[in-house]
Structure 1
Amino acid sequence: MYYYHPGSYHPIYPRYYPGIRQQTPVDSNILYQSANVSKKLMKEASIVLDRLAQSKEFDSKLMYAAQISDINEVKRLIHSTGVTSDVDVYYNPDGLRLEFKSNVEALDCCKLTITLRWR
């Protein structure tokens, strides 16, 4: 049997006990903006993935630059695909990680990470 004690929280019917938990009004503006910015990041990630999937020559250049630790060339190659977003590039002998980032209202809001293996 379940007994109600004043001041306790009822997990199934919290609305019947006003004053127990007050919620602040929601403002979905930043979430809305974040979703739209994330869609842009996904489009840009798709551009890079399309290029990697279509050109073995491009892939070889990228892998060679990473192998000799030429980070500037790796970033240049990634941006040569037409990407305008901020992209952090990480690589190791096993693969490549691209982190697409953006801000909304000066807040670090959105990240999209793509991890690819090359060995």
Structure 2
Amino acid sequence: MMYVSPLPYYYYLPLYLLNDYGPTRPLPPVDPEFFRQSANESKTLMKQANMVLNQISESKDFSTHLMEAAQRSDFEEVKRLIHSIGVSSDVDIHFTPDSFRLTFKSKIAAKDCCRLTIALRW
């Protein structure tokens, strides 16, 4: 005996597939303002990250001091070195014996809007 469903087949599909196969819930109108502000704020984070990358790649002294401080697990010195080149963004700094990771963060009106993570090997 074969089972026959009392509902049409599109009731069993995921919601993202229903647009072409059946009714969907109405979507609210989009407001791109926060999205645009987030993109603009991300450009600022990219400038800050570029400053750090330029300093590391162009200054052997700076990169040596940074690596030595990380090797000693001197988090405050690593943070001081990063901010000494003019970084004003909020930055999470993580380092291991193999890698160095910076996550630049920003907020708009007290809401997290964007993050930019740079991960480097050493």
Query: What is aligned with 1:101?
Result: 105
Give the TM-score normalised by the residue count of structure 1.
0.84
Residue aligned with 1:58, SS: helix
TM norm structure 2: 0.82
Q: Which structure 2 residue ranges, 5 or more long, are not aligned?
A: 1-7, 12-16
Q: In the alignment, what sits opposite 1:67?
A: 71
Change (3 A) 1:22 1:70: same
Tell me the equivalent position of 1:42: 46
Give the C-alpha shift of residue 21 in structure 1.
2.5
Cα displacement (A) at 1:10? 5.2
The residue number in structure 1 matching 2:5 is none
Count of aligned pairs between the two proteins: 109
Counterpart residue type for residue 20 of structure 2: I
Instruction: Find runs of 4+ consecutive structure 1 residues off by over 2 angstroms.
Output: 7-14
Aligned partners of 2:90, 2:39: CA distance in 1, in Å?
17
- How far apart, CA to CA, are the structure 2 residues paired with 1:13 and 1:105? 40
CA distance in 1, matches of 2:50, 2:36: 21
Give the superposed CA RMSD.
1.8
More helix by share: 2
Tell me the residue number matched to 1:115: 119
